[in-house]
Chain A
Amino acid sequence: MATKKQHELQVKVAVLGSGPGGYAAAFRLADLGFNVALIERYENIGGVCLNVGCIPSKTLLHLAEMCYEVPGLKEHGLDFGDLKIDQSKMIDFKAQVVKKLTSGLSQLASARKVKIVHGVAKFTSDHQLLVENDKETHVIGFDHCVIAAGSEPVKLPFLPQDERIIDSTGALELKKIGGKMLIIGGGIIGCEMATVYQALGTDVTVVEMTDQIMPGAQKDIVRPCQQLMQKRGVEFMLNTKVVAVSASAKGLAVTFEGGQATESRLFDQILVSVGRGPNGHKLQADAAGIKVDDRGFIPTDKQLRTNVNHIFAIGDITHGPMLAHKATAEGRLVAEVIAGKRIKMDVRCIPSVAYTDPEVAWVGQSRDELKAAGIDFKEGVFPWIANGRSLCLGRSEGRTVLYADAVTGRVLGGAVVGKNAGDIIGVIGFAIEMGADVHDLAMTVFAHPTLVETVGQAAEVLLGEPVDVLPG
């Protein structure tokens, strides 16, 4: 074996991983005057979110939505003819969007003189990383390190090795549409992929262990989404788990346990979306003395500092929801902590969004959490059937829900199902973060007719003074 070319590099801060957390940290650190190396094991920077996560999936989801929306216009007087699907063009479009964003990031990195090092990184001491790729190795010495090495899809160990069994990354390649597809795991990613594949003419079955899809969301908020997906042909198997899969030329025979189905069924492909696991065990963290828990998470304090004083961890690899926007917020914060600011992670809520059709979004505390905490709260639900804009769009299934403290009126949580719910939830998150009262939302003048108007309308319902529906 030929010896690889070895480089040595000394930086103020090494950022491990270029996803939304890592690049935010690296860019802010560079702007704060630090000499930064940004280490990425893949060819493109941007991490899962840009390359195989949020961005490509949302591109495909947009196209999937059109598959229903455009033919639906026929009955309103617009007939665009029959749907013809060209997968390669869809993939091209997705690739263009990804490229636009990742090349933009590369430009921003080079303009900031952030040194990008490609390769797989391992700690060799608490002040040194070894980064290796096919051609070369880098020995990077650092004063501070930010671990933003993210997560990977969890694999189910009992599944056979078979190219017809894919994870979310594979699903985004749209290698096979049509036929029967089983999606194991009815979380956000599973539901989003079910939406894409069903729209493109695949018979999708979603199997979920718990009694609801999108665990964590309130059931009544998920229901309109689940109903529409079912109407479009997605089959849901709740309270059910997959216990065995056997591959043959005919297809993948799947055995279930619990729930409705016990007999074995045949599928053409299986998408595994049972969650993501942190990459904490892949970094040789013990060489730096960094504590990693059994599951691979790296615990931190509120300044995102690991047990090693000058090493920080952000994003999926540390505790909290595995969400790009959580990682970005942490990335920005950690840069300022390293720059010596006495600040800490102090957010009151982080929104969750499923970009299904309709979208499902929730933020702050849910009804169940409030009940469990014994908080006296009030709830305001505004059905979109009474919202003009929603009807203009030919949709009526949406709902906007607010929870507020019964005594003080302070907004504690909210949820939205409907078109653009992911955009609308931002207003509720802002209200929670500002410590707003439900009165503040009711007294804010929203433009009419809009979908975000339903936040004000839900506030009015909560206060018992609605106009567009009858007071409860």
Chain B
Amino acid sequence: MSHKVVQIPDLGGAQEVTLIEWLVKPGDEVSADTPLATLESDKATMEVPAPNDGVIESLGAVVGQKLAQGDNLLLMRSLEKQAEEEVDILSVDIPDLGGIAQAKVVEVLVKVGDQVNENTALLTLESEKATMDVPSPYAGKVLSTHVVAGEDVKMGQMVVMIAGQAIKVSAPKITQDLPVPEIPIAHAVPTDLEKTSPIVRRLAYELGIQLGDIQASGPKGRILKDDLIGYIKQRMQGKKSVNLPDFTQFGSVKLEELGRIKQISGPFLQDAWQLIPHVTHFFEVDFTELENYRKANQTEFVEQGTKLTPVLFFVKALIPVLRAHPIFASSLSEDGKSLWMKDYINIGIAVDTPGGLMVPVLKNVDQKSFIDLAIELSGLSTQAREGALKVNQMQGGTMTISSLGGIGGVAFTPIINAPEVCILGISKGYIKPVWDGQQFIPRYTVPLSLSYDHRVIDGAEAARFCNQLQRTLETMHLEMNSNHKQ
């Protein structure tokens, strides 16, 4: 009985083909010219026929794999007397792992077609306790590999097939003619040639970092300890920049400095966006009555030197809703195990200023009248636009409102102003035809988005919060009108 390795035939000019489909499986009996697999090049698809009668032993590639002429495709046991290439097929199994149930494949050190000797390392395994290499028990050619990096393996699991000599190459025995050399020569060619000092290599290994991933800053590409530390910091913070192409190759460009506020707020937004699992709940509110009220009463506010803006209704409406759902006014403790519950209700208002986005905070809104809030908000907005806000005027928020209603948009997903746990986004109102049972009536409708911290708030809680906020806003004019009349 002999074995034959079926290789990728002459591809007729194509450099590379993709294995599209296996037409046989191990154990199948095939006769000469039975199609074994379908290959596809950029020009055509083709089938690889069996060279002779035989039984399929093992497949040497996976569907989707790119192959070139001469690559091993599969191994078959020939039923012909005369085979071109006689080999013994030897499987290499995971050896006893020394009491460990399973280990992870860190690296497959050989690839199909590699010539290996006895003791050539085939795989590197890593368990909780150690890393170890799996040496080849045979000399020969690697026929197939059956594991990939990252996979968990157990003792006895077949990992590699080798075509070679069945007789194990045994170490030379000590004889009088062949004394053990005094100094075994062990100057193996180093495999990792990254330019680093021993301590950098050790630290990198300890931390499981591939030296090749580190950007070297030393002379002539030397990886310095600082490079490793920088890499670790970057990984801990998350990568903060993307690699840029040279834009000048596409046309004229100019590098302009980012505004100061954006430079400062950028990292905070990045952290909030990465550290907080955001969910955004979209809903709408019928704002028709409040809009009517606002228009009707604007003069009164103007007389006071201020303006009745829609956002004020939201500030007021949030008070009972937050009281009813106090976790929306909380902050998560650093260890993630408790909540800081806040009795105060301070609402931050995102203000678009020429210098950038600022968030002044309206303090203790539950203790202030509508007109007072209007006056305070215009004051804060003016200060923000003039860049005159003090630090304490931007601190202590319970939650934040970000309104793009005056500008436009259907909906958006605001980023939570950490350490708060939710933020309300207001989009541009529109007239919505609402069926009242008999006809469509035009209603002035404002779309809203509530982003919340899902570690603190569940989806159902958020939905209830939004429902209550909606009801509060839609019934608010009744209360205001009655107050107004008094």
Contacts and interface: CB of A to CB of B under 8 A. Distances in A.
Contacts of B96: 307
Contact of A433 (B129, B185, B187, B197): B197
B206 A343 contact: yes
Contacts of B206: 341-343
Interface stretch (A103-111, A184-192, A417-425): A184-192
Nearest to A215: B181
Interface stretch (A41-49, A78-86, A270-278): A270-278
B214 interface: no
Contacts of A341: 206
B25 to A, nearest CB: 35
A435 B179 contact: no
Contacts of B205: 342-344, 346
Given A301-B131, A344-B205, A435 B180 contact: no
Given A157-B176, A410-B193, A435-B196, A303 B187 contact: no
Interface in B439-459: none
In the complex, which range does the number of interface residues on chain B fall in? 35 or more
Contacts of A344: 131, 205
B194 interface: yes
A58 to B, nearest CB: 17
Contacts of A322: 182-184
A187 B181 contact: yes
Contacts of B185: 216, 321
B184 A320 contact: yes
A366 interface: yes
Interface string A358-386: 00000011100100010100000000000
Nearest to B190: A348
Interface in B123-146: 129-133, 135
Interface string A431-463: 001110100000000000000000000000000
A308 interface: yes
B181 A301 contact: no
Contacts of A274: 179-180, 182
A28 interface: no
Nearest to B135: A299
Nearest to B133: A301
A302 B131 contact: yes
Contacts of B186: 319-321, 350
Contact of B183 (A294, A352, A364): A352
Nearest to A365: B187
A364 B187 contact: yes
Contacts of A275: 179-182
Interface string B219-256: 01010000000000000000000000000000000000
Contact of B174 (A295, A308, A435): A295
A369 B131 contact: no
Contacts of B172: 295
Interface in A298-354: 299, 301-303, 305-310, 319-323, 337, 341-344, 346-350, 352
A391 interface: no
Given A295-B173, A434-B197, A435-B195, A154 B179 contact: yes
B130 A303 contact: yes
Given A302-B133, A437-B220, A276 B173 contact: no
A399 interface: no
Contacts of B202: 343, 346
Interface in B164-212: 170-174, 176-177, 179-187, 189-190, 193-198, 201-202, 205-206, 208
Contacts of B177: 241
Contacts of B132: 301-303, 305
B100 interface: yes
Given A156-B179, A309-B98, A277 B129 contact: no
Nearest to B97: A309
Centre residue among A277, A320, A435 by max chain B CB count within 10 A: A435
Contacts of A310: 98
B267 interface: no
B150 interface: no
A154 B180 contact: yes
Interface in B6-48: none
A413 B188 CA distance: 11
A276 B182 CA distance: 6
Contacts of B99: 308-309
A346 to B, nearest CB: 5
A293 interface: yes
A365 B191 CA distance: 13
B95 interface: yes
A342 B130 CA distance: 7
B195 to A, nearest CB: 4
Contacts of B131: 301-303, 342, 344
A216 B186 CA distance: 10
Contacts of B190: 348
Closest 3 A/B residue pairs (Cβ)? A187-B182, A309-B98, A274-B179
Interface of A: 154, 156-158, 185, 187-190, 209, 215-216, 241, 273-277, 293-295, 299, 301-303, 305-310, 319-323, 337, 341-344, 346-350, 352, 364-366, 369, 373, 375, 408, 410, 413, 433-435, 437
Interface of B: 95-100, 129-133, 135, 170-174, 176-177, 179-187, 189-190, 193-198, 201-202, 205-206, 208, 220, 222
Given A187-B182, A295-B180, 20 more contacts: A185-B182, A274-B182, A275-B181, A302-B132, A303-B132, A309-B100, A321-B183, A321-B184, A321-B185, A322-B182, A323-B183, A341-B206, A342-B206, A344-B131, A344-B205, A346-B205, A348-B190, A350-B187, A433-B197, A434-B198
22 contacts: A154-B174, A156-B176, A216-B181, A295-B171, A295-B172, A295-B174, A302-B133, A309-B97, A309-B98, A321-B185, A322-B183, A322-B184, A342-B131, A343-B202, A348-B190, A350-B187, A364-B187, A408-B220, A435-B193, A435-B194, A435-B196, A435-B222
